[in-house]
Amino acid sequence: MYTQEITVNNEVGLHARPATYFIQKANEFKSGIWVEKEERRVNAKSLLGVLSLGIVQGTTITLIADGSDQEEAVKALADLIENNFGE
């Protein structure tokens, strides 16, 4: 299992379009991937799950992956967040 904490800094947080980019990236990997905010953990490959966390600008989340490409998956998702989802 590989984890990394990261703060979402883009203006709208993880909603609609950024969440779609996030889920598309997560689906490129074989590992199970989760997003954790406070005590809630959801599947990072589920749009409704990710949106249900209500991640806004300045929210710190934990990315968790478990599988053959776990480290690569977490790093790719962290890079996407750090680069404000390419916006």
CA distances from 58 to 32, 48, 76, 82 (A): 25, 21, 20, 12
Q: How confident is the model at residue 12 (pLDDT cuts 50, 70, 90)?
A: confident
> Which pLDDT value is given to residue 15?
87
pLDDT tens per residue across span 27-75: 999 999 999 999 999 999 999 999 999 999 999 999 999 999 999 999 9
pLDDT tens per residue across span 72-81: 999 999 999 9
Give catalytic status of residue 15 as yes or no. yes
60 contacts 6 by C-beta, under 8 angstroms: yes
How far is 44 from 34, CA to CA, in rounded Å? 5
Range of the domain at 80: 2-86
| 12-30 average pLDDT score | 94
Of 2, 10, 15, 32, which residue is the catalytic one? 15
The full DSSP string for 6-33 is EE--STT-S-HHHHHHHHHHHTT-SSEE
Number of CB atoms found within 10 A of residue 83's CB: 10
19 contacts 77 by C-beta, under 8 angstroms: no
- Total domain count, the chain: 1
Q: How confident is the model at residue 22 (pLDDT cuts 50, 70, 90)?
A: very high
Query: At 62, which CATH number?
Result: 3.30.1340.10
Query: What pTM value is reported for the model?
Result: 0.95
